[in-house]
């Protein structure tokens, strides 16, 4: 008889890894959350600790300085961090599922040897795709790349770039032949400090406020020819395939957020008394918590399924889009219900409910809006 293995059942190594990250989040990150949110700044000491714990290079192989883990382990880490602070979670998410992934899959051996150890041990990475007139239509980009013989020259502007304030290594997408449309888009690596390269205005946001979101400005930026990543004109392919995996990362972030909001509501409902008894003695509250827990578990199944498929080398794009769409919906709903269970206390910063509520909205917006996920799902249903 074939053994049935539930999707949420973790191996012993995965359990240990998850518990270690959860302990790290509770002991190291939690005391800093409120201050980082209020100051809209990621604590530099915390970033250093993220590198020291191996969280910034989970999938990178040993020979490139990484932890040699699986994609699924990266997803577990993102989830565990988001239970405490989605801002920290997205920093780790972008580093692993986007930036490291690009070098691992498309970088030359020289690029892997140069940037892998840096990204695993000390340098934050950033993924530069979005532009003022290029959001969901990501390939309507205006940033230009000019081949000038001995070097490339980049011109343009990127916006809404995550990790830009902290990053030293930027993967930048620009069009080398606009007349070819998306087939001219090419990826390049640019290091902070390159003349003409600048990180511009930092956005003030509703949620994930400690996570930096900035402009990136390219003004006569000259980079070596070897800084081209992947094949010339294949930037669109790199962007699409990377974001397919990134969707699972965002879904995992929203899963952790929903779990954190649920756990907070459960704790508060046990401790808060009204009319002489605990909130969770009221059937109405019990039903709300039960519904929230059911939706979080369904979300977890979808995220883990998509991640397992990816690690197994099986088709996962539809499942990734479904996970991102569904879990973003669940996170917003659970965060809202959690805040309501706190009552008036949910509306003040003393409790985590209001921050989870603010942080949840971004799940429907970045790395592909919910409408874009629905479009992807329908297209794949049609074959």
- CA atoms of 348 and 366, how far apart (whole Å): 26
Expressed as residue numbers, the domain containing 158 is 126-233
**What confidence category does residue 120 fall into, taking pLDDT thresholds of 50, 70 and 90?**
very high
Average pLDDT over residues 105-124: 98
Residue 277, phi then psi, degrees to nearest 5: -150, 160
* Range of lowest pLDDT (63-72, 138-147, 319-328): 138-147
- Domain boundary, last residue among 233, 251, 275: 233
Q: Could you tell me if 319 and 207 lie in one domain?
A: no
Q: Is the residue at 2 inside a domain?
A: no
Q: Could you tell me if 283 and 360 lie in one domain?
A: yes
Q: Would the pLDDT of 3 be above 70?
A: no
- CA atoms of 151 and 82, how far apart (whole Å): 41
- Find the CATH number of the domain harbouring 23: 1.10.540.10
Which one from 22, 191, 367, 382 is the annotated catalytic residue? Answer: 367
- Find the CATH number of the domain harbouring 212: 2.40.110.10
Q: Is the residue at 289 inside a domain?
A: yes
Per residue in 247-265, pLDDT tens? 999 999 999 999 999 999 9
Q: Could you tell me if 101 and 196 lie in one domain?
A: no
Q: Is the residue at 266 inside a domain?
A: yes
Q: Could you tell me if 190 and 116 lie in one domain?
A: no
Q: Is the residue at 141 inside a domain?
A: yes
Average pLDDT over residues 151-165: 98
Q: Could you tell me if 290 and 345 lie in one domain?
A: yes
Q: Could you tell me if 207 and 323 lie in one domain?
A: no
- Domain boundary, last residue among 124, 146, 180: 124
367 classed as catalytic = yes
Q: Could you tell me if 202 and 306 lie in one domain?
A: no
3-state secondary structure of 43: coil
Q: What residue spans of the chain are helical by DSSP H? A: 12-24, 33-39, 44-52, 71-82, 86-93, 101-106, 109-121, 235-271, 283-311, 317-342, 353-360, 370-381
Instruction: Name the domain count of the chain.
Output: 3
Q: Is the residue at 362 inside a domain?
A: yes
Q: Residue 148's CB: how many other CB atoms inside 10 A?
A: 10
Residue 14, phi then psi, degrees to nearest 5: -65, -40
Q: Could you tell me if 40 and 98 lie in one domain?
A: yes
Q: Could you tell me if 117 and 154 lie in one domain?
A: no
Q: Could you tell me if 144 and 64 lie in one domain?
A: no
- CA atoms of 299 and 296, how far apart (whole Å): 5
Q: Is the residue at 5 inside a domain?
A: no
Report the pLDDT value the prediction gives residue 1, as an integer from 0 to 100: 41
- Domain boundary, last residue among 96, 124, 152: 124
Q: Is the residue at 223 inside a domain?
A: yes
Q: Could you tell me if 166 and 251 lie in one domain?
A: no
Q: Would the pLDDT of 5 be above 90?
A: no
Q: Could you tell me if 372 and 244 lie in one domain?
A: yes
Q: Is the residue at 3 inside a domain?
A: no
Average pLDDT, the chain: 96
Q: Would the pLDDT of 363 be above 50?
A: yes
Residue 362, phi then psi, degrees to nearest 5: -65, -25
- Find the CATH number of the domain harbouring 242: 1.20.140.10
């Amino acid at each position: 008889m074939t053994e049935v293995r539930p999707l949420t059942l973790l191996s012993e190594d995965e359990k240990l890894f998850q518990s270690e990250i959860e302990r790290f989040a509770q002991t190291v990150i939690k005391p800093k959350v409120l201050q980082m949110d209020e100051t809209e700044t990621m604590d530099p000491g915390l970033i250093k600790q993220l590198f020291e714990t191996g969280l910034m290079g989970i999938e990178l192989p040993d020979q490139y300085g990484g932890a040699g883990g699986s994609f699924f382990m990266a997803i577990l880490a993102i989830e565990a961090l988001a239970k405490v602070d989605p801002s920290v979670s997205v920093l780790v998410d972008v580093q692993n599922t986007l930036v490291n992934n690009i070098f691992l899959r498309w970088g030359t051996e020289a690029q892997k040897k140069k940037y892998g150890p840096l990204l695993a041990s000390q340098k934050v990475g950033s993924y530069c795709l979005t532009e003022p007139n290029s959001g969901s239509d990501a390939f309507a980009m205006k940033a230009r790349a000019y081949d000038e013989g001995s070097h490339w020259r980049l011109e343009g502007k990127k916006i809404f770039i995550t990790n830009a304030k902290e990053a030293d290594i930027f993967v930048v997408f620009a069009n080398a032949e606009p007349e070819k449309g998306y087939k001219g888009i090419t990826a390049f690596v640019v290091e902070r400090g390159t003349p003409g390269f600048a990180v511009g205005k930092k956005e003030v946001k509703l949620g994930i406020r400690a996570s930096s979101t900035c402009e990136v400005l390219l003004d006569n930026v000259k980079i070596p020819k070897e800084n081209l990543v992947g094949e010339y004109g294949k930037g669109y392919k790199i962007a699409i395939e990377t974001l397919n995996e990134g969707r699972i990362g965002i879904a995992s972030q929203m899963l952790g957020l929903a779990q954190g909001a649920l756990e907070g509501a459960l704790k508060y409902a046990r401790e808060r008394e009204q009319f002489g008894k605990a909130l969770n003695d009221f059937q109405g509250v019990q039903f709300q918590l039960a519904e929230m827990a059911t939706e979080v578990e369904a979300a977890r199944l979808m995220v883990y399924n998509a991640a397992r498929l990816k690690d197994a080398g099986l088709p996962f794009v539809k499942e990734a889009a479904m996970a991102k769409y569904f879990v973003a919906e669940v996170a917003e709903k659970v965060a809202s219900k959690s805040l309501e269970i706190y009552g008036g206390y949910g509306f003040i910063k003393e409790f985590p409910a209001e921050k989870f509520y603010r942080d949840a909205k971004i799940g429907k917006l970045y790395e592909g809006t919910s409408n874009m996920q629905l479009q992807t799902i329908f297209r794949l249903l049609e074959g």
